[in-house]
C-alpha cells in the first residue's frame, strides 16, 4: 500500500479507442490496489460488473474503489463531481497504490490536470502520467474516431457539456496533454500504415510524446502504472510476450516493443536543478518512458523522491523506508524504463561531468 503521495494516472481517448480494454488489463495484471474514477456517458463506461469480472476486488469493495461519474463531461464538472470524488478516495489513501481516471473522449484533459493542484489534494498525489489512446485503424483511414456518429450524438445529447469543441481540436488537446500515446488496434495495421499513423500523431500533437503500439489492451503494466517496487536487475519486458500468435506476417513486427529497465545506484554529489535538466534532456534520445527513484542531497534531511513519465518531472522531499539504500553523504538510486539502451551510462557520465566542473 502507498506510504507517500498517491500516483494518479489519467487515461483519455475517444469512444472506441480501447480505454476500457486497457483498464481491464491493468486492473487484472498490474498487481496493484487501484481505485478508478470513470467518466462516461450512460452504459458505455466501465461499470462495476465489468470490474468484478477482472477479479479486481470483492463485491463489497466495488463501490469503494470504483467511482462512476456520469453527469456529463468531467472537465466541465470538476468542482461538483471530480474534486469531491478525489477527496473521498484520498481519505483511504493508505489502502491504495494508485488512482486511475478514465475520462470521456469529450473531456479536455487540461482542466483535470489543473484540478490535481487543488489545495486539498495536491500534497497527497502526483501526476503519474497522461495516457492517450488513439484508434490506429480509424486514424489510418483518415479519422481520429472510428464511430463518428456516436461521438456526435454524445455531444448533442448531453446537456452538461459546457464546451462545444470540434473533434479535431479535442483530438489535438488529447495528444498535446499526453505523456504517452498508445496506438490501439495496431494488429490491424501494416508497417507502412503504422508509420503513417505515427507521423499523423506527431503532426497533430506533441512531437516529444513517446508512442507505442497496443493490441487488445495488452501492455506491460509498469509502463502505464509505474514501478511499484525497486528493481535491482536489468531486464527486458516484451509487452506482447503473451497472448500473441507469433506466426504472423512480418508486416506486423512493429507490434513488438522491448521495454528496457536499467538501475543506477551511485554515491556522488547531486545538484537538484542540474539533475532535473539532465534527465529531461535524455528523454527523446533514449525514448525514456519512466524514471523512478530518489537522491540524497548534501545538507537535506530527507531524500528527494523522483517520478518521471516522459518529460513530466515530479519531485518532493519525503522519507525513504528504513530498508532503503542510503549513501554516506549524497547519491542517487534510480530505475529507468526506456525503449533504447544506454540511459544508465549516459546519466552516470553526466553526473561525473557535472561534479568535475
Q: pLDDT tens across 213-248, in order?
A: 999 999 989 899 986 544 433 333 443 433 334 334
Mean pLDDT lowest for which of 79-93, 176-190, 270-284?
79-93
Q: Considering the domain 6-225, what is its CATH architecture? A: 3-Layer(aba) Sandwich (3.40)
Q: pLDDT tens across 132-181, in order?
A: 999 999 999 888 887 777 666 666 665 555 555 678 888 999 999 999 99
Residues present in the chain in total: 357
What lies within 8 Å, CB to CB, of 169 at 6+ separation is none
Q: Return the biggest CA–CA distance within the chain.
A: 63
Question: Which residues are registered as beta bridge partners of 126?
Answer: 7
Distance CA 170, CA 157 (A): 18
Distances in whole angstroms, Cα of residue 70 to Cα of each of 45, 211, 225:
8, 30, 24
pLDDT for position 233: 37
Q: 504472423: which residue's cell?
A: 248
Distance CA 113, CA 35 (A): 17
Are 170 and 104 in contact, with CB atoms under 8 Å apart? no
pLDDT for position 192: 93
Is the overall model pTM greater than 0.85, yes or no?
no
Distance CA 320, CA 305 (A): 8
Distance CA 324, CA 54 (A): 33
pLDDT for position 228: 56
Residue 123 cell numbers, joined:
500534497
Closest CA to 139 of 88, 51, 67, 200: 200
The percent of residues above 90 in pLDDT, for the chain, comes to 41
Q: pLDDT tens across 18-64, in order?
A: 888 898 899 888 888 888 888 765 444 444 455 445 555 555 555 55
Average pLDDT, rounded, for the chain: 79
pLDDT for position 40: 60
Closest CA to 292 of 258, 328, 268, 324: 324
Distance CA 113, CA 27 (A): 22
The answer to whether the Cα torsion of 207, 209, 212, 216 is positive or negative is: negative
Domain 258-356 fold = Hypothetical Protein Yjia; Chain: A;domain 2 (3.30.1220)
Per DSSP, the three-state class of 206 is coil
First vs last C-alpha separation in the chain: 42
Q: pLDDT tens across 296-313, in order?
A: 999 999 999 999 998 899
**Domain segments of the chain as ranges:** 6-225, 258-356
Question: Which residues are registered as beta bridge partners of 12?
Answer: 132
pLDDT for position 337: 93
More confident position, 353 or 182: 182
pLDDT bracket for residue 331 (50, 70, 90): very high
Distances in whole angstroms, Cα of residue 39 to Cα of each of 69, 104, 106, 171:
5, 5, 10, 17
Distance CA 326, CA 324 (A): 6
Are 215 and 239 in contact, with CB atoms under 8 Å apart? no
The answer to whether the Cα torsion of 154, 156, 160, 164 is positive or negative is: positive
Kindly state the average pLDDT of the residues 271-276.
93
Q: pLDDT tens across 73-90, in order?
A: 554 455 557 788 888 888
Mean pLDDT lowest for which of 242-246, 290-294, 348-352?
242-246
Cβ-based neighbour number of residue 229 at 10 Å: 9
Distance CA 134, CA 214 (A): 10
Are 285 and 291 in contact, with CB atoms under 8 Å apart? no
Amino acid at each position: 500500500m502507498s506510504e507517500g503521495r498517491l500516483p494518479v494516472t489519467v487515461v483519455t481517448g475517444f469512444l472506441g479507442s480501447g480505454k476500457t480494454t486497457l483498464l481491464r488489463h491493468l486492473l487484472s495484471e498490474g498487481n496493484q490496489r487501484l481505485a478508478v474514477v470513470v467518466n462516461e456517458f450512460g452504459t458505455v463506461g466501465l461499470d462495476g460488473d465489468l470490474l468484478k469480472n477482472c477479479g479486481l476486488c470483492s463485491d463489497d469493495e466495488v463501490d469503494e474503489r470504483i467511482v462512476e461519474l456520469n453527469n456529463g463531461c468531467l472537465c466541465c464538472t470538476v468542482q461538483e463531481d471530480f474534486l469531491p470524488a478525489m477527496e473521498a478516495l484520498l481519505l483511504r489513501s493508505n489502502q491504495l497504490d494508485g488512482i486511475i481516471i478514465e475520462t470521456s473522449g469529450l473531456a479536455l484533459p487540461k482542466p483535470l490536470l489543473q484540478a490535481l493542484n487543488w489545495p486539498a489534494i495536491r500534497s497527497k498525489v502526483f501526476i503519474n502520467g497522461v495516457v492517450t489512446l488513439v484508434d490506429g485503424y480509424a486514424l489510418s483511414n483518415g479519422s481520429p474516431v472510428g464511430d463518428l456518429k456516436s461521438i456526435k450524438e454524445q455531444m448533442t445529447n448531453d446537456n452538461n457539456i459546457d464546451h462545444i469543441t470540434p473533434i479535431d481540436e479535442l483530438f489535438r488537446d488529447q495528444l498535446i496533454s499526453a505523456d504517452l500515446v498508445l496506438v490501439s488496434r495496431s494488429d490491424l495495421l501494416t508497417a507502412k500504415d503504422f508509420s503513417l499513423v505515427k507521423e499523423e500523431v506527431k503532426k497533430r500533437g506533441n512531437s516529444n510524446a513517446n508512442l507505442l503500439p497496443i493490441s487488445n489492451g495488452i501492455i506491460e503494466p509498469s509502463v502505464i502504472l509505474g514501478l511499484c517496487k525497486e528493481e535491482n536487475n536489468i531486464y527486458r519486458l516484451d509487452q506482447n510476450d503473451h497472448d500473441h500468435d507469433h506466426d504472423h506476417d512480418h508486416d506486423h513486427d512493429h507490434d513488438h516493443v522491448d521495454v528496457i529497465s536499467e538501475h543506477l545506484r551511485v554515491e556522488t554529489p547531486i545538484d537538484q536543478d542540474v539533475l532535473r535538466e539532465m534527465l529531461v534532456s535524455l528523454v527523446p534520445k533514449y525514448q525514456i518512458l519512466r524514471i523512478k527513484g530518489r537522491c540524497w542531497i548534501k545538507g537535506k534531511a530527507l531524500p528527494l523522491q523522483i517520478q518521471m513519465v516522459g518529460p513530466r518531472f515530479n519531485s518532493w522531499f519525503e522519507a525513504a523506508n528504513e530498508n532503503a539504500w542510503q549513501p554516506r553523504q549524497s547519491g542517487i538510486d534510480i530505475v529507468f524504463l526506456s525503449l533504447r539502451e544506454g540511459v544508465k551510462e549516459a546519466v552516470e557520465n553526466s553526473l561525473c561531468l557535472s561534479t568535475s566542473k
